[in-house]
Structures are given as structure tokens and as C-alpha cells.
A = this chain, B = another copy of it.
């Protein structure tokens, strides 16, 4: 075994032991840990800000202002971190929920009960508070967590971790419920990805390169999304004003998030009258376009899309446009080009809307709403550790409930199968 593997095993063994204790801890104990951790964050504010200053001082000159800003922790941001922990306390306990129960003719009573997953590996980039947020959700859902933040924020991560450890200790929990990687060694990440049995789930949050590396190499199950190539389909029956309002929000509210609409699909029946207005609205906000031939028949000045544009997640003020003939063509386009993230239809025709909702397999399908609602807070989950687009276990925003699994409790009175 390599050094990294041995080191990682030490972490996962400790996490596994800690997880067993945490799984049996009452909600009150878990909440106490979060309360005490929030307090410790506030008490340690100066220390955290100073550690962060050391990280910032060590930043390479290549890093731009946006990156520096994401990395920066002010006392206000530490306060926000503490408040975030307190908000998690207020969320309902996801453990012990009885998901289903039934009794068989032989009298055996079955209960499907929510339990923690066990040990979660959280790999993230740039913003140091993601570590605190993730740790809070893991503790609340009874999971031990191993945190691996960006290499450039190691001092910040250690200072934040010290506060989390204070909280665990104060509540009488094993400090190994929250651990951080001891160094930025990439081999440690590699070992984490291979640690089947030691880690139950890995959640990567960050840029495409990170997520794709994790998806490619991990033997451990991963909840993630790489692409958010979302579509908004304006059906012939759409109310023009609603279409204008929704599309503007779906494309331009924040262009860099996974729920931003990247492609507009518009029915040929409504395109001649509505497309010019939609384009004008977006152009006024600085949006650029890539359009198919049919769209350019309506607005010749639109740049022509090439083949790869409809498979491109712009994460910018650029919108791909295709004119389609009806909902089946729209569904076909989504199936060919989408990433199973979020799609929306704008329509007054309920039959067509249902066809669209039933006809696509994306994690989230919306009728008469903006794709930008794909977010744990907007879903009412209270908190979100990430968004998943895979098919197994959890899809869409990953909140507290999605960090649990279940097992069966079977209550008998001496039944044998015979």
C-alpha cells in the first residue's frame, strides 16, 4: 500500500468508528454539536481570518480577482458560516423517519427506516465555507465526513475545522466525525476515490475538471453533476409575457450556475411573432446568440450555430436557439443534447405540458417556471450540499434527506419461514 493509501485508511477507520457512534446519537446531541460549533466559529473569528490572510498571501499571481474573492473570509463571512450552522439545527431530523410500514399475513411487521449513509467524502474548491456547510449537513444527518478543500485554502480549512472539532467535543461526540485531509497531496484524493468500504459516498463540488476527475476515477459512489445543459421550450400555446419574463430569468439571472438555461427551443408556430421580442429582451441585457437555420430565417442577423453549440453549456451570456415543430421534436432535441439536469416548458396547453413532463428523464422538469429554481433552498430543503444528475439514490438538489439511506426493521412474535 502506498503512503497515501495507508494515511487515508487511518482517516477512514477513524471516520467509520465515529460514524457508528454518531448514528446512534439523538437529534439533541447532533444539534448541540452544531450549536457549539457555531459558537466556536464566532470565538475563533480572528484566528480564522488570520489563517485566511496567510492563504491569500500565498496565492499565486495567476489567480484572478474573482478567485481571490471566493477564497476570502472576512468576519462577516465567518458570521454567515455560523448562522448557516444554526439554520441547519432548525431543519427537521432526517434520521428515524419511517418511510413505509406494512404488516404481512403472518403477522410480521415491516418498517423502512431512514438511517445515515455512514462516511462521506466532500471534495470542494475555492470557497472555504463549503467545508463548514457540508460538515453541518453531515453531522445533522448522522454521517461522519472527510473534507478535502482546495489546496490554496488549507490554513483556512484547518482553522474552521478546529471550530467544528470544538463543537463535537462539547456535545460529547467523537472528533473524527469531521476530519480534514492533512495536506493538499493529490495522491490522498486518489486514495479517497478508491476507498470502497471506507467511504460510502463522495460529493465533489467545483469546476468541470474536478467533477470529471472524480466521476472518472472513483470506485466509491458519487453524487455529482458535471453538466447543466438546461433547456427552456416555448410552446405555441405559451403566454408571450410569461415566456419573456421566464426566459430572461432562466438565462440571465445568473449565467454561471448549473440551472441557467443554455438553449431556447421555440415552436415554429409562435417563433415569427415571439422570437424577435425574446431576442431583443436578452440582447438588451448583453446576451449573445447561436441560432439554427430556421431561427435565422426569422432574424437573419443571428449568428449561425454550428453542430457543437447545442451540446455546449455556455455558463455565460450566450444562448443557443433552435426552432422546433411541436413538443415531440423538442423532447427529441432534449434527449439528444441535454445533460438530464433541468428542462422547462412554457405553455398554456395542459396536455402538451404533461407530455413534456412525462417525456423527459431529466432530474427536474418544470412547467411555467424558470430553470434557475433548481436549488435546494428553492426546493424547500433548507440546505443543499450539491446537485446530482445520476439515476441512483438521489437526483436534483441533495439535501439532508438525500444524505440518508434506509434499512428494514422487521418486528415478529416468533415467526419462522418453515
Contacts and interface: CB of A to CB of B under 8 A. Distances in A.
A144 to B, nearest CB: 13
Nearest to A414: B242
28 contacts: A20-B335, A20-B361, A102-B380, A104-B380, A108-B369, A200-B392, A221-B392, A245-B414, A246-B416, A248-B416, A364-B410, A366-B410, A367-B409, A367-B410, A367-B411, A367-B412, A369-B411, A369-B414, A375-B417, A379-B408, A391-B405, A392-B392, A392-B405, A393-B393, A395-B405, A395-B407, A395-B408, A396-B408
Given A365-B407, A395-B405, 12 more contacts: A24-B358, A102-B380, A110-B379, A248-B416, A253-B417, A253-B418, A365-B410, A367-B409, A368-B413, A370-B417, A373-B415, A391-B405
Given A246-B416, A361-B23, A415-B369, A391 B200 contact: yes
A407 B364 contact: yes
A368 B412 contact: yes
**Which secondary structure characterizes the binding site on chain A?**
mixed
User: By CB atoms of chain B within 10 A, which of A221, A362, A409, A416 has the most?
Assistant: A416
A359 interface: yes
- List 9 A-B pairs, minimum CB-CB distance, nearest first: A369-B412, A249-B416, A366-B410, A242-B414, A372-B417, A368-B412, A393-B393, A392-B393, A364-B408
A221 B380 CA distance: 29
B104 A416 contact: no
Q: How many copies does the complex hold?
A: 2
Contacts of A29: none
A406 interface: yes
A334 B157 CA distance: 36
Interface of A: 20, 23-24, 102, 104, 108, 110, 115, 117-118, 200-201, 221, 239, 242, 245-246, 248-250, 253, 335, 357-359, 361-370, 372-373, 375, 378-380, 390-393, 395-396, 405-418
A86 to B, nearest CB: 21
A415 B370 contact: yes
Contacts of A201: 391-392
Contacts of A395: 405-408
Nearest to A415: B369
A379 B379 CA distance: 33
Contacts of A118: 361, 391
A363 B104 contact: no
A288 B208 CA distance: 57
A415 to B, nearest CB: 5
A416 B368 CA distance: 9
A110 B406 CA distance: 23
B110 A380 contact: yes
A42 B396 CA distance: 44
A335 B20 CA distance: 9
A143 to B, nearest CB: 11
Contacts of A396: 407-408
A407 to B, nearest CB: 5
A101 B84 CA distance: 26
Given A361-B118, A392-B201, A104 B378 contact: yes
Contacts of A365: 407-410
